[in-house]
Structure 1
């Protein structure tokens, strides 16, 4: 019997891992900073450091996000934008995705 439980647990873990790796958005966090990558799709969103950040639009150097109901514009190479005690900085913009940093 214990072997069946272990096999079932391993199968469940493998399915959960497959679902996680199939996710198109990516959040990687350290102690007080996260790197976020979201797909350039309408309504793509991610929860990071306690706030919801939604992708609104982008061109080659500027990204507009909705952060906690407030729209902000991030420009590549520019200073961070402060919202709700967090700093948002644009890292990169490609045809498929945008990457930004969020820090406390």
Structure 2
């Protein structure tokens, strides 16, 4: 009878590293951002809601990109996300930029709120 060692899968340093990376990314999304005055963010696992004071050119860093309010007129706003200018209207489908989905959530006399999410999860 021959004694053979059973071939076991290698220990799982890759799985542990992947878990750590996932946790770090999740923490980064939740911690989210650095903002200038006139903007607030609320980030969760599925994206961020960014609320700009309407009369400012405030900007913030979310999900690894810069987001800035360029201007607003009636129910249409222009924002810059990941270096690209987008014109958004309330109720329109999400605009895709830099692997992110951007939608106009709300615009009123005082504030503009956009939602920025990973992929097409707008």
| TM interval, short-chain normalised | 0.7 to 0.9
Structure 1 ranges of 4+ moved more than 2 A: none
What is the match of residue 97 of structure 2?
A: 83
Quote the residue 2:78 is aligned against.
64
**Alignment partner for residue 38 of structure 1, among 31, 45, 52?**
52
Deviations along 1:28-66, one digit per CA (max 9) or x if unpaired, are: 111121111011134211111111111111112111011
1:85-104 to 2 correspondences below 5 Å:
85-104=99-118
Q: TM-score normalised to the size of structure 1? A: 0.72
Output the TM-score relative to the length of structure 2: 0.62
- Which string of whole-angstrom CA distances, capped at 9 and with x for unpartnered residues, describes residues 2-37 of structure 1? xxxxxxxxxxxxxxxxxxxxx532111111211110
SS at match of 1:102: strand
Query: Rg bigger for which structure?
Result: 2
Partner of 1:12: none
Count matched residues.
82
